[in-house]
Amino acid sequence: MKDKLKGKGAVFLDRDGVVNKVLIRDGKVYSPRALEEFNWEIGIQEAIRRLKDMRFMVIVVTNQPDIARGKMSQNILDAMTEKVYSTLSVDAVLVCPHDDGDECTCRKPKAGMILEASKKWDIDCQSSFVIGDSWKDMVAGRAAGCTTILLDRFYNQEAECDHKVESLGEAVDLIIKNKL
């Protein structure tokens, strides 16, 4: 990764619902399981560009339990991750492929992926942000010492966060305002 960013803040983005669109079936939220279902959220490229302009590392942290559940293949997940790397200017994509019963330290709401990244790239979590669309993202961010920003969705009304915004663009505006 980029050594010039060591010791700086980062923005940790959840994948499904922040970077790419979630699927809604019968009022329930699902992650894409096929590459053709993997579509960008509105404004993601611009949001990442603006964060990079502010010299933040941008790291995607995502739970993908469909791997452990046998509902998606590792090859499909790898293709989605490659699409993120080839299209977006992210510094890293960290994936937890485990299910709740695996009791790993990386699965959000645990802060393992964020703490791993902070150690590996000397990230200051106190100067960092987590943007997510679920309570798990918010709990993980707080546990790591980051400021949490929740994208307001019909399925996350009870999630506790530091800030709640309507859009990814608003989240970036808030980060830039607080960084200056």
Query: Model confidence over 68-123: pLDDT tens digits?
Result: 999 999 999 999 999 999 999 999 999 999 998 898 999 999 999 999 999 999 99
Q: How far is Cα 78 from Cα 67, in angstroms, rounded to an integer? A: 11
The H-assigned helical ranges of 132-179 are: 135-144, 168-179
- Predicted local confidence at residue 1, as pLDDT: 34
Active site includes 78? Answer: no
Domain containing residue 150: CATH number: 3.40.50.1000
Active site includes 16? Answer: yes
Q: Which residues of 123-132 are buried (b: 16+ CB within 10 A; e: fewer)?
A: bebebbbbbb
Give the three-state DSSP class for 58: strand
The yes-or-no verdict on residue 164 having pLDDT over 60 is yes
Output the CA angle 68-128-52, nearest 5 degrees: 90
Structurally, the chain folds into a number of domains equal to 1
Structural domain harbouring 116: 3-179
Catalytic hit among 16, 66, 91, 133: 16
Catalytic hit among 3, 14, 137, 152: 14
- Predicted local confidence at residue 8, as pLDDT: 85
